[in-house]
Structure 1
Amino acid sequence: METTQVEILEELTHDEERNRAQLELRVEQAFYQAGKALAQLREQRLYRSTHKTFETYCRDRFGFTRQAANYLIAGADIFENLTTNGCQILPTNECQVRSLSALEPEQQGSVINYYALHYIETRRSQMINLLRIARLNFLFFSSLILIKLEVFNGVLQNTIIYYAS
């Protein structure tokens, strides 16, 4: 996931910040809600009044393949497992948990935490490298500006001397 620098255009009130955080959490957990709903539709066969199979129901109603619906259902189960086992960093989409389905439920949280920590450390080292590059760029461009100022001052002094004489 790529992060971008965000410019604050307008300050939010405390209530607006809290509301925004709650809404963002709902968006991040949307795959979980969709997976749980699909699981209930499938288990209770609530599609049977209009469709013979869950597969055709998902395709006609949501535009999902059977595989996509199953991924969402499995992802919701894994997400639920991670939340009940106290995982600190939770996935925000089904793709992030897809590979965890091959693991035992007890292992899933450990893997997520390990990779989240690895991701944070990688991002931290990338940020340090970016800061080093920014510092070098600053020094380089500062030197160029100083050189240009010196050249400008020299031209200005020569111009003053020329007009003074």
Structure 2
Amino acid sequence: MTDALSTTEQQHLASLEHTIQAGLQTFRDTGAALAEIRDGRLYRATHATFDAYLERRWGFTRQHAGRLIQAAEVAQVLEPVGYTPDTEREARTPEVRAAARIVAELEPEQQQQVAKFLQATTGSEKPSTSQIKAVAEVVQQIDAHGTVEHPDTGEQVPFTDLPEQARMAVIRENVSTSAHERVQRQQGHIQASVQQKAATGQASWTDWVMNHTGQLPEGQVLQITCTPVPGSSPTARAQVIDVATGAVLAEGESATYLKKAVMTLVEEVKG
């Protein structure tokens, strides 16, 4: 059973469908338009369900539309901190989604602080996801603590009371400390893996996965994610992840077979 749209809804639907009809020029606009049609049930005058609308109007499956919507949501979350995924596939990678999760937890003022710091320090128009996560985590921790040490006087003061330059200095110091601690932990894991290899001989890549996982501290996991790619071979990516924060501590490059995905992680943790 269908349900008539108001004149305003008809006009809005026409505008949204024009965005989609434009040839999927950008995944973000398309995904956002699909989300609005779904959430407002703007398909209801001609189709009983959103799935029926997708299939008959656009030839989309629910899964494809879901990927576009998810990618658009991730891109929208990361926009305030200066990160724009180039493709829908990039927006759905684990590292980009992990960055989006922590940015989404920040207040708008905190997001602005992250963006200012990244713009001032990275020297890049597009910061990396690891840079975003590192700075966002520090800003989140500073806000939770309430006060920080003034870089000039050493006194504990509210972070918001500091001038902009001093705020940048505090964030930079904390980001550097966090990065140093992470490197130290990772070097410890590498050394343990080297000792394990010496004791057992040359290990296969599958043995390395289990040996390295056994050396990880509590709260970290080694995760291999296999992702379907429409019209192409699936890809795999191996990562070491902090369970509590979702932060990616080490990761290899995506590959079309498991061994290569794991071996790129091996090279990453070896530095």
User: Do the structures match in fold with TM over 0.5?
Assistant: no
Could you say which TM-score interval applies, normalised by the shorter chain?
0.3 to 0.5
Specify which structure has the higher proportion of strand. 2
- The one of the two structures with greater contact order (alpha-carbon pairs below 8 A, sep at least 6) is 1
TM-score, normalised with respect to structure 2:
0.28
**Which of the pair has more CA radius of gyration?**
1
Greater share of residues in helix: 1
